[in-house]
Structure 1
Amino acid sequence: MTSPLTAPAPVDPRFDRSAWWRADRFGMFIHWGAYSVPARGEWVRSYERIGLDDYRSAVDAFRPDPDFDAWARTAADAGMRYAVLTAKHHDGYALFDSALSDYTTATVLGRDLVAEFLAAFRARGIKVGLYFSLLDWSRPDYPHFGDLHHPMRDAEEFRDHAPDLASYREFLHGQVCEICSNYGKLDVLWFDFSYSGMGPAEWGASELMRIVRELQPDAVLDNRLEGSGSDHGSLLTDSPTPWSGDFTSPEQVIPAEPIVDVHGRPVPWESCLTLNNHWGYCRSDHDWKPAPVLIHRLVECVSKGGNMLLNVGPDARGRIPVESRRILARIGEWMDANSESVRGCGPAGLGRPEWGRWTAGHGKLYAHVMEPPVGPLVLTGLDRDQVRSVHLLSDGSELPLVDSWTVVGGRSRAMVSFGPQPEWTYPLPDPVDTVLEIELR
């Protein structure tokens, strides 16, 4: 099919590394660590100004026995093709073995949880990534008093604390070297994050990128060595830095429009979203997003050229919460029937129809019908003579093009009906998102 309606906008060749990732579209984020013990989210130390010594009780009580194969099965059944685990979050407690620190599960528990995670997910054919915090609140050489986020940022006893950024950079680079050297090929590296006073210079971003590209040349990298969820960094400019990354990472939001550079060319992006309102396990947070909402948001991301990284926060025992699994299972049911309209797809160039979303890929158009029509469904943006065929993606059954005297200009417009009488109203075959597969002439 050569119709300009579905011709994808050119992607800058410097983004070739992310081709597989842009095709997979849907991944699992996993925030997990000692903060699952207090069960008030992964920022609990910062929000509640908890000192390092007081946090030790959470570290000592974090003695999980996770079934990583069950995690991987949950991701695979949901239709996710890649997964990213927090190898180390801002609290500094690492889930991997490190020769540079004894503040790790390998030392405390005798278990390298990163190695176990990677083995289980690779065995399921799921591509693997590691999240690594650029912050480390456990280190005495990291900024304390006056920092924007450190738990002791306003503690008077640390007013005279003197950070040693040269020492911290050496440690940071050393641990990044470990995760890039000791675990085989990593498909994604997810650094987090830069902020006022702590950015590329403080991280030693140039040398850090040299290490990453030498050891993991094919890893897809986010933009947070110089940006954050709300800051794209230099990736959209004519002069991106060597550490600008391979994609931007809007957080807890989906962009209103596709993300493009200064010349209007698509820039890869990924919205990272939570299932409730926390990343790490929060026992009291029951504000779950319904599966239909998340299916719509996944399709929205794809229709705008982006990915969705959907988070789970396992508990202190290492179990993904039951409600998380139920939501993911429902998404998986929809993906079983409709994944072809997500994977390998992107914008269709047809705008947003009032009944749902368009995606395009594999030489076809996909109409995601989320609102039932009254009378025939007008395939907004398409003339009848452009359309070769329309089928339900879920079962392959044909939906013939119809005429209707009720539609002005109906004979020239592409329309289908979900029942034998074009003018009648019928329920959608899938009330969440009925996907039509459309071939053009």
Structure 2
Amino acid sequence: MTAPDRLTGFSNDRFGLFLHFGLYSIPARGEWVQSNERITAEEYRRYFEQFNPREYRPREWAKLAKECGMRYAVMTAKHHDGFCLFDSELTDFKSTNTPAGRDLIREYVEAFRAEGIRVGLYYSLLDWHHPDYPAYGDKQHPMRDEEAYRGIPQDFSNYLRYFHGQVRELLTNYGKIDLMWFDFSYQDSVNDMTGEKWGATELIRMIRSLQPDIVLNDRMGGHTGSIHPTLQYGDFVSPEQYLPPKGMTDENGSPIPWEACVTLNDHWGYCAADRNYKQPKEIIRALVECVSKNGNLIVNVGPDALGVIPEPAADILRRVGAWMRKNGESITGCRAAEYEKPEWGRFTQGRDRLYAHIFDRGIGPVILPGMAGRIRSARLLCDGSEVSVARPWNQPDNDSDAFLNLPSGPMPDESDTVVVLELEKGESLL
């Protein structure tokens, strides 16, 4: 299957849920706590011995994602700390050996499949637990500055066999996996942890042999902050914590598939003190912006140590879902429109409809530049009510623009009022 064929479902879905969950949910200071606080493996093991998310109910997560209008999900099978939420035969550092005694990935996969949501797995290329992963001098490792780790014999090929073996397990033991999300390549003064350092070509060949339809991100090579990233090792690029101004393009300026990954607050993993949540309007507008630039949006939540998505996060997602139930037609299966970004919001387009996403209409009618005589009908997407399209009395000489005359007073939806436009016969959306 070619990359465009593999990407059809992914690009149509547009909206996904990211789930960062692991041992770091217990200290509750974010997913980088072991590195940031230079916690040794011995000290960190106490979280392994305590791990028992007795409220872990992925069916509830899946129902929440579906309610929110999300069409796919990605969950951490292994994060940088090396702890596995699946029953790997290659390590003892896994959830089945904790007080939880459960294969949490299997439960996640089954729950999200049951709701018709595409299933993705996150796997960190880093591993601070494995003895053959670079430690001293590495810019990420918790023991990077500890002299006791200088000169310890290591064989990185052992780690590669381990890492490739675990990917094989994930793509063999859990049925169809729709998406694999690797994280991440980097360089420092000691190590070049990019591309073939990971055995990327061999790994991709193995992945494609096991699951030909799977979609892959591109973090084994390139750089997530690059203006012109490469798709050498994957199908889409993944800008993190920002929305690219004009979508993502290669060095020739040609559009490439992309997905913006953003946190709902300021951390990926659970952080008890972080209550700086983005509001529903911000998520809705970010989603619209991504689709208007031919991109996806995946929004992350970090469940707490008991396995519960924090209620403030769940409430925000439910409120986004209320908007999606009325307006999801303008997101799912949609793409960028062949019109310049208007000053009042954005356009998206589906197969035969154009959607005007009105964020701030200003005073007077909403101007649709260059669309005079082209609009057959206009309706509010949320309730189907007609919107008048007529040239106002004080624009007698303007025969190029069309005008939406919305009722005075508050907009139907302050987050984003969507007007669906049907064009006259013979008028093309392109």
Q: Shorter-chain-normalised TM-score: which range? A: over 0.9
Provide the residue aligned with 1:435 in structure 2.
Answer: 418
* Cα shift readout 1:207-266 (whole Å, capped 9, x = no counterpart): 11111111111111000111342147863xxxx53xx20000000000011212344332
Residue 212 of structure 2 is aligned to residue 217 of structure 1 = yes
Q: Give the superposition deviation at 1:368.
A: 0.3
Q: Give the superposition deviation at 1:373.
A: 2.9
Query: In structure 2, which of residues 401, 404, 415 is the aligned counterpart of residue 413 of structure 1?
Result: 401
Please give the root-mean-square deviation of Cα atoms over the aligned residues, in Å.
Answer: 1.4
Residue 56 of structure 2 is aligned to residue 73 of structure 1 = no
Provide the residue aligned with 1:186 in structure 2.
Answer: 177
C-alpha change, 1:49 and 1:409, in structure 2 (3 Å) is: farther
**Counterparts of 2:117 and 2:249, CA distance in 1:** 29
Provide the residue aligned with 1:395 in structure 2.
Answer: 383
Conserved 8 A contact 1:229-1:251: yes
Conserved 8 A contact 1:384-1:411: yes
**Counterparts of 1:280 and 1:383, CA distance in 2:** 47
Query: In structure 1, which of residues 364, 369, 389 is the aligned counterpart of residue 353 of structure 2?
Result: 364
Provide the residue aligned with 2:427 in structure 1.
Answer: none
C-alpha change, 1:266 and 1:16, in structure 2 (3 Å) is: farther
C-alpha change, 1:403 and 1:299, in structure 2 (3 Å) is: same
Query: In structure 1, which of residues 154, 159, 181 is the aligned counterpart of residue 150 of structure 2?
Result: 159
Conserved 8 A contact 1:270-1:309: yes
Q: Give the superposition deviation at 1:191.
A: 0.6
Conserved 8 A contact 2:388-2:406: no
Residue 111 of structure 2 is aligned to residue 120 of structure 1 = yes
**Number of residues paired by the alignment?**
417
Conserved 8 A contact 1:143-1:162: no
Q: Give the superposition deviation at 1:398.
A: 1.1
Query: In structure 2, which of residues 299, 303, 321 is the aligned counterpart of residue 314 of structure 1?
Result: 303
**Counterparts of 1:360 and 1:263, CA distance in 2:** 25
Provide the residue aligned with 2:141 in structure 1.
Answer: 150
**Counterparts of 1:343 and 1:247, CA distance in 2:** 18
Conserved 8 A contact 1:280-1:314: yes
SS in 2 for 1:75: helix
**Counterparts of 2:399 and 2:59, CA distance in 1:** 54
Letter of the 2:162 counterpart: F
* Cα shift readout 1:168-215 (whole Å, capped 9, x = no counterpart): 111111111100110000000001110012112221111111111111
Provide the residue aligned with 1:274 in structure 2.
Answer: 263
* Cα shift readout 1:57-104 (whole Å, capped 9, x = no counterpart): 111111002111111111111110000000000000000001110100
SS in 2 for 1:358: strand
Provide the residue aligned with 2:81 in structure 1.
Answer: 91
Q: Which runs of 4+ in 1 moved over 3 A?
A: 231-234, 407-412
C-alpha change, 1:407 and 1:163, in structure 2 (3 Å) is: farther
Identity, % of aligned positions:
49
SS in 1 for 2:335: coil
Query: In structure 2, which of residues 5, 22, 32 is the aligned counterpart of residue 33 of structure 1?
Result: 22
Q: Give the superposition deviation at 1:114.
A: 0.2
Q: Give the superposition deviation at 1:156.
A: 1.3
Residue 40 of structure 2 is aligned to residue 51 of structure 1 = yes
Give the stretch that moved more between structures: 323-332 or 367-376: 367-376
TM normalised by structure 2 equals 0.94
Conserved 8 A contact 1:96-1:104: yes
Provide the residue aligned with 2:409 in structure 1.
Answer: 426
Query: In structure 1, which of residues 384, 389, 404 is the aligned counterpart of residue 372 of structure 2?
Result: 384
Conserved 8 A contact 1:192-1:228: no
**Counterparts of 2:299 and 2:4, CA distance in 1:** 22
**Counterparts of 1:410 and 1:28, CA distance in 2:** 45
**Counterparts of 1:263 and 1:36, CA distance in 2:** 42
Provide the residue aligned with 1:207 in structure 2.
Answer: 202
* Cα shift readout 1:256-308 (whole Å, capped 9, x = no counterpart): 11212344332110000000000000000010101101111110000011000
C-alpha change, 1:110 and 1:440, in structure 2 (3 Å) is: same
**Counterparts of 2:347 and 2:318, CA distance in 1:** 24
Conserved 8 A contact 1:228-1:249: no
Provide the residue aligned with 2:11 in structure 1.
Answer: 22
The answer for unaligned runs of 5 or more in structure 1 is: 1-12, 420-424
Letter of the 2:150 counterpart: R
SS in 1 for 2:49: helix
**Counterparts of 1:233 and 1:431, CA distance in 2:** 35
Conserved 8 A contact 1:227-1:233: no
TM normalised by structure 1 equals 0.92
Q: Give the superposition deviation at 1:412.
A: 4.0
Conserved 8 A contact 1:372-1:427: no
- Residues 126-141 of structure 1 mapped to structure 2, 5 A cutoff: 126-141=117-132
SS in 2 for 1:368: strand
Give the stretch that moved more between structures: 151-160 or 30-39: 151-160
**Counterparts of 2:93 and 2:259, CA distance in 1:** 31
**Counterparts of 1:383 and 1:135, CA distance in 2:** 52
C-alpha change, 1:228 and 1:316, in structure 2 (3 Å) is: farther
Conserved 8 A contact 1:83-1:128: yes
